[in-house]
Amino acid sequence: MEQKKWPLHSILAIAIIATWLKTAITYEVSFDLNIENIMQQLILWINPLSFLLIIYGVSLFLKTTKARNRYIVTTSIILSVVLYGNVAFYRFYNDFVTLPVLFQTSNFGDLGTSAAEIVTIWDLLYFVDVVIIVCAVKWLRVEQQDGIVLPQVRRLYFTFATAMLVLNLGLAETERPQLLTRSFDRELLVKNIGTYNYHLYDLYIQSKSSAQRALADGSELVEVSNYVNASKIERSELFGEFEGRNVIFISLESLQSFVIDEQMDGHEITPFLNSLVGRDDTFYFNNFYHQTGLGKTSDSEFITENSLFGLGRGAVFFTHGGNTYNSMSEKLRNNGYFTSVMHANSKSFWNRDMIYQSFNIEKFYDVESYNVTDDNAVNWGLKDKPFFEQSVELMKQMPQPFATRMITLTNHFPFTLDVTDQSIPEYTSNSATLNRYFQTVRYMDESLELFFEQLKETDIYDNSIIVMYGDHYGISENHNKAMAQFLNKEEITAYDSALLQSVPLFIHIPGYTEGGVMEQVAGQVDTRPTVLHLLGIDTEYDMQMGSDLLSAEHEDFVIFRDGRFITDELVYAGEVCYDRSSGEQTDSALCEPYIERANMELEYSDKLINGDLLRFYDDQTGQLIIDHEAAQ
């Protein structure tokens, strides 16, 4: 009796389902993805599907059943290898592989020796779909139809596949707005678009930057270098005054200046920081601005490290993590400092683990270095108080002099806090975000006070400089109405918004007696030369955009990443030139020369990064390395 045959394209359907299920199960058992709600779970389950429909669907363009089956089997093998590669890599590094890492073979040195520990016989299960597909091809009796697949069938098929892709991206966008433009975390990407799509995305990002890099050569550096040299100013009189001191940078999450020395419904918001304002041992800069873009905290780190701007699109930490940089940490390291970053988050967030290698930072105290429990964590992770407490213990172990950057976390959107940690009530406005913000700011302020106290109990405090700065805005323009209410204004205009980008900068120098409130108009690019000079480290050959804030020649001019700027007399925002003191629109000719300079500076900074031009530069001698080979 003639056995009933399976319908046409059964092999395709089996392949899609088998690989889909295998991938979904792999997500569950092999990666630690922190799924927080049903929506995320749903996205995780559907995200392999759109990709698999498309990649296996290519078989529909082949003319014979044999060719189609061969293509499907080959594809399933390749996909299994990719997925398994990820699983093995994840076991070792707790991270997802990126193309640059794949080609940075030195990374795998450690991997080779412990390969035996990583691989087990059970890993063959990662290829189970291949086995199923091969068996189906071999033994299943499927309707055969050679020749081209009907265009209508193909059209229907790919319409469905595209719909799945759009559904996936749409859901991901609601769950994580700006996922692809900000590209902040590999884990989030994998969670939302899946491993396979993630690799395609990574491929796209990398090929774009490699192309720009490949086309660049040292001669492009000449123009940038001329500009940088022409902008150099004399260093401050305090140059070298604090040589040999440790330097502790503290990145104050989402802290804006508008809360400093202010009250909310009669409650002081930042009592501890306020106590430093105007003190002899502290420079407090009240006219200092963040210059970050989409890369938020990571941009602030980038700017502080390199005195260059982040990029206009995406996070430079992610897109150019493998570039050559002459970072501040590297400079400090060359001057005998032990360099580190302390931040209780996963190391791959913002691609930090990778770019810190490019910055030549010796040690990254990431979440693994901290004891995080349900009790001492809130919102994004370890609360600031235990973070500082544990960090002091780690600091005691550091060789001195050291330079470290501590990155706080509690005052992060959505600004949630345990009731027991709330020292002041919520504000009352139409923005729950702003209402809570004051409470988490206050918590951060208290944690800083605690940190200072604990540090004073060690020998570190007296021998350090503590530099604290707000990393970027915390309250976006979506909360303008509530902000206007808090600031007692009718409305928040483009002019106000620009000035609201001010973040505090404190340079606290125990034992110093001539500090005070500083009104220089400045930005995060200026931090590096200022601090290096205090420590007696020269910046003559630094290819960077900042200038010493304490120098008499410092110019009152700060450029934002989006082209806005502020001087002591002007504010340029929303393509309007404002008189700074009145807030009224003024003659645009006054802004013209600054607009030009702002654009030029941003463009030069972009050029350096996109072309990876610092590989053509010797920062010890200020010489350009035009010889290509030398710069590879």
Residue 197 or 297 with smaller CB distance to Mn ion: 297
**Residues 6 or more apart whose Cβ sits within 8 Å of residue 90:** 30, 31, 96
Q: Which is nearer to ligand GP9, 40 or 345 (CB)?
A: 345
Looking at the DSSP bridge assignments, the partners of residue 405 are 249, 341
Q: Shortest approach of ligand GP9 to residue 182 CB, angstroms?
A: 9
The one-letter amino acid at 25: I
Q: Which residue is nearest to Mn ion (CB)?
A: 297
Cα 54 versus chain centre, distance? 31
* From 297, 319, 339, 530, active-site residue: 297
Q: Name the one range near Mn ion by CB under 5 A: 143-151, 288-296, 425-433, 595-603.
A: 288-296
Find where tokens 């900042």 sit. Answer: 546
β pairing state of 617-618 and 576-579 = unpaired
Closest CA to 232 of 632, 622, 623, 628: 622
Do the annotations mark residue 241 as ligand-binding? no
Beta strands in 351-504 (DSSP E): 363-365, 377-378, 381-382, 402-407, 464-470
Q: Is 348 in the site for Mn ion (CB under 5 A)?
A: no
Q: Answer yes or no: is 253 a known binding residue.
A: yes
Peptide bond into 510 cis (omega under 30): no
C-alpha 461 chain-centroid distance: 30
502 DSSP assignment: B
Residue with Cβ nearer Mn ion (16 or 417): 417
* Smallest separation, CB 295 to ligand GP9 (Å): 7
Strand boundaries in 320-412, DSSP class E: 338-342, 363-365, 377-378, 381-382, 402-407
Binding site for ligand GP9 (CB under 6 A): 296-298, 345, 349, 407, 409, 412
Residue nearest to ligand GP9 (CB): 296
304 makes contact, choosing from ligand GP9, Mn ion, none, with CB < 5 to 8 Å by partner type, with: none
By DSSP bridging, strand 516-518 and strand 617-618 are unpaired
**Residue 412, annotated as binding a ligand:** yes
CB of 344 to Mn ion, least distance (A): 14
Nearer Cβ to Mn ion, position 445 or 471? 471
From the list ligand GP9, Mn ion, none, which binds 345 (C-beta under 5 to 8 Å, kind-based)?
Answer: ligand GP9
- Residue list 451-480, contact with Mn ion (CB under 5 A): 471
Compute the least distance from the CB of residue 296 to Mn ion, in Å: 5
Q: What is the 3 state secondary structure string of 554-594?
A: CCCEEECCCCCEEECCEEEECCEEEECCCCCECCHHHHHHH
d(CA 32, CA 569): 52
Nearest distance, CB of residue 412 and ligand GP9, angstroms = 6
Q: According to the binding rule CB under 5 A, does residue 410 interact with Mn ion?
A: no
Only one residue has tokens 């569950």, namely 28
In the range 240-259, which residues lie near Mn ion by CB under 5 A? Answer: 253
User: CB 179 → ligand GP9: shortest distance, Å?
Assistant: 13
Q: Report what 168 binds from Mn ion, ligand GP9, none; CB cut-off 5-8 Å by kind.
A: none
Partner whose binding site includes residue 83, from ligand GP9, Mn ion, none (CB under 5 to 8 Å by kind): none
Q: 297 catalytic, yes or no?
A: yes
Burial of 330 (0-12, 13-18, 19+ CB in 10 A): buried
Q: Residue 377 pairs with which residues in a beta bridge? A: 382
Ligand-binding site membership of 199 (annotated): no
The terminus-to-terminus CA distance of the chain in angstroms comes to: 70
Does residue 297 belong to the site contacting Mn ion (CB under 5 A)?
Answer: yes
CB-nearer residue toward ligand GP9: 297 or 306: 297
**Binding partner of residue 199 among ligand GP9, Mn ion, none, CB cut-off 5 to 8 Å per kind:** none
Tell the smallest beta-carbon distance from residue 346 to Mn ion (Å).
15
Indicate the residue among 296 and 383 with the shorter CB distance to ligand GP9.
296
Residue type present at position 273: L
Q: Which does 461 bind (CB under 5 to 8 A by kind): ligand GP9, Mn ion, none?
A: none
Q: In the structure, how many helices (H) and strands (E) does the chain have? A: 23, 20
* Closer CB to ligand GP9, 349 or 365, in the complex: 349
Q: Are 407 and 385 in contact (CB under 8 A)?
A: no
Q: Which of the listed partners (ligand GP9, Mn ion, none) does 186 bind, with a CB threshold of 5 to 8 Å by partner kind?
A: none
**Beta strand pairing call for 617-618 and 623-624:** antiparallel
Q: Specify which residues 199 forms β-bridges with.
A: none
Both tokens of 390, joined, read 């544990």
Residues annotated catalytic, as ranges: 297
Q: Which residues participate in the annotated binding site?
A: 253, 297, 412, 471-472
Q: Which residues participate in the annotated binding site for substrate?
A: 412
Residues that bind Mn ion (CB under 5 A): 253, 296-297, 471
Q: Which residues participate in the annotated binding site for Mn(2+)?
A: 253, 297, 471-472
